[in-house]
């Protein structure tokens, strides 16, 4: 969802970025919508101006910069007085500001001048919001069922081509429905499609008053391995026609993984022509530089998997190299050995790239 100067990543956020799911990242992006820049000025130095005026977009109000200089963005959740080379004495830099990159739980303020600037933007460039009918009540209809969300399989970034992987070969979908109609909802019909092919039709009965919701379990089915799209439609509410059909469906993308390797992987040196190797996966949320095969280094062979972080300047991105499923039942313990080569910048002011080795017992859902 693009809002001119800010992008609200409703569907494309990494599933592992739970520190940004508290709602305040939305406040950050709305700040961009109202003409606020990042608090460090986007220049990673002390000369960045977060109150600059974009060419062709002057402001009538004189909102004087009242944010402290800051060398770079902030990550994590800091506390107390924090200083850097740009603001070396107390009170330091303003990591609590909504226009920084701290965790959602650590945001908490705009400055007086930032509020002034947002008000000026509203008056100059967003004035139509003052007369918008966006808050006017929606015209109600008798029968209106909204498919709010598919809860299983977990919907993670369907619009961005992302998917959730499952180890189980049987899938039991669950969907959340809401009665947006004036009349009590007592019955409806679900149509379940996988890759646009109908795999089931299921009737539901109940009694939902206006605005009430229900979690509905769809009959289990066995999909083939691979990546698929699940679409669940509702129809025939109370035996009639839905007055607002635009909200009658939801979609989710999922992957059923091949059977686990047993015995587990003995070794992988990435010598194959194809990368990633069979049943391995690369997840690259931002579409930038990611894991690839290289012959610049190898042990014991001539190849290895590499993430060229040296050539990659985007911040707070995570790229995943995932092994196949590994059967561990009956194993007393497991040993993972790997060789690692890297080069480190000699600059303590930078945030270093990190390599993490993690495992999941549910195919990456958690």
Q: What is the pLDDT of residues 8-60, one digit of tens each?
A: 444 444 444 567 767 788 899 999 999 999 999 988 788 889 999 999 999 98
Q: Which two tokens stand for residue 312?
A: 């990659």
pLDDT of residue 197: 94
- Of 95, 110, 135, the domain-final residue: 135
Asked if 29 and 105 sit in the same domain, the reply is yes
Comparing CA positions, the residue from 138, 145, 149 lying closest to residue 212 is 145
Asked if residue 140 is part of any domain, the answer here is no
Asked if 7 and 116 sit in the same domain, the reply is: yes
Domain-embedded: residue 318? yes
Both 241 and 357 in a single domain?
Answer: no
Long-range pairs of 248-252 with CB within 8 A, sequence gap ≥ 24: 248/145, 248/146, 248/147, 249/147, 250/147, 250/148, 250/149, 250/150, 250/155, 250/175, 251/150, 251/155, 251/158, 252/150, 252/153, 252/154, 252/155, 252/158, 252/164, 252/173
158 and 112 in one domain? no
Both 274 and 248 in a single domain?
no
Average per-residue pLDDT for the chain: 84
- Sheet of 213-217, strands arranged across: 145-152, 174-179, 213-217
Same structural domain, 154 and 30: no
Instruction: Show which of 235, 256, 277 is a domain's final residue.
Output: 256
Task: Decide which of 106, 135, 164 is a domain's last residue.
Answer: 135
Q: Are residues 238 and 355 in the same domain?
A: no
Helix/strand/coil percent split, the chain, to 5? 15, 25, 65
Bigger pLDDT: 93 vs 350? 93
State which residues form the domain around 154: 145-256
- pLDDT tier at 264 (50, 70, 90 boundaries)? low
Q: Are residues 152 and 197 in the same domain?
A: yes
Q: Say whether pLDDT at 123 is over 90.
A: yes
Look at residue 53 and tell me if it is in a domain. Answer: yes
CATH (domain of 222):
2.60.40.10
Same domain, 79 and 182: no
Check whether residue 246 and residue 347 sit in a common domain. Answer: no
* Domain shared by 3 and 117, yes or no: yes
Is residue 93 included in any domain, yes or no?
Answer: yes
pLDDT classification of 6: cutoffs 50, 70, 90: very low
Average pLDDT over residues 313-336: 79
- Does 151 lie in the same domain as 198? yes
Q: Which helix (H) or strand (E) holds 176?
A: strand 174-179
Candidates 24, 5, 9, 1; CA nearest to 121 is 5
Rounded-to-integer distance, Cα 88 and Cα 230, Å: 54
**Residue 361 — very low, low, confident or very high, per pLDDT cuts 50/70/90?**
confident
With residue 118 as reference, give the H or E element that holds it.
Answer: helix 112-124
Q: How far apart are CA 276 and CA 320, in angstroms?
A: 11
Number of domains in the chain: 3
Per-residue pLDDT, averaged over 309-338, amounts to 79
How many helical (H) and strand (E) elements, i.e. helices and strands, does the chain have?
2, 12
């Amino acid at each position: 969802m693009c809002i001119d100067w800010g992008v609200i990543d409703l569907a494309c956020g990494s599933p592992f970025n739970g520190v940004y799911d508290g709602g305040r990242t939305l406040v950050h992006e709305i700040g961009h919508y109202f003409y606020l820049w990042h608090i460090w000025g986007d220049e990673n130095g002390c000369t960045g101006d977060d109150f600059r005026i974009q060419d062709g977009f002057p402001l009538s109000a004189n909102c004087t910069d009242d944010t402290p200089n800051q060398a770079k963005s902030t990550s994590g959740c800091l506390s107390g007085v924090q200083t850097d080379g740009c603001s070396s004495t107390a009170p330091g830099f303003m990591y609590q500001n909504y226009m920084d990159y701290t965790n959602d739980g650590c945001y908490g303020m705009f400055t007086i001048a930032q509020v002034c600037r947002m008000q000026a933007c509203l008056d100059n460039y967003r004035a139509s919001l003052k007369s918008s009918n966006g808050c006017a009540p929606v015209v109600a209809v008798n029968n209106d069922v909204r498919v709010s969300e598919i809860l299983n399989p977990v919907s993670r970034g369907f619009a961005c081509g992302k998917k959730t992987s499952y180890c189980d070969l049987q899938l039991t979908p669950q969907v959340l429905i809401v009665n947006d109609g004036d009349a009590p909802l007592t019955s409806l019909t679900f149509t379940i499609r996988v890759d646009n092919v109908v795999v089931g039709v299921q009737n539901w009965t109940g009694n939902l008053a206006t605005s009430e919701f229900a979690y509905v379990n769809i009959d289990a089915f066995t999909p083939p391995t691979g990546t698929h799209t699940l679409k669940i439609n509702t129809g025939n509410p109370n035996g009639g026609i839905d007055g607002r059909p635009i909200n009658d469906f939801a979609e989710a993308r999922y992957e059923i993984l091949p059977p686990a390797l047993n015995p587990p992987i003995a070794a992988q040196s990435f010598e194959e022509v194809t990368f990633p190797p069979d049943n391995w996966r690369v997840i690259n949320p931002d579409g930038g530089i990611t894991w690839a095969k290289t012959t610049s280094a190898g042990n014991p062979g001539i190849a290895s998997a590499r993430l060229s972080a040296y050539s990659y300047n985007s911040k707070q991105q995570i790229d995943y190299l995932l092994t196949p499923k590994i059967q561990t039942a009956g194993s007393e313990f497991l040993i993972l050995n790997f060789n690692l080569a890297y080069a480190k910048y000699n600059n303590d002011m930078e945030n270093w790239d990190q390599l993490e080795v993690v495992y999941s017992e549910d195919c990456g859902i958690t």
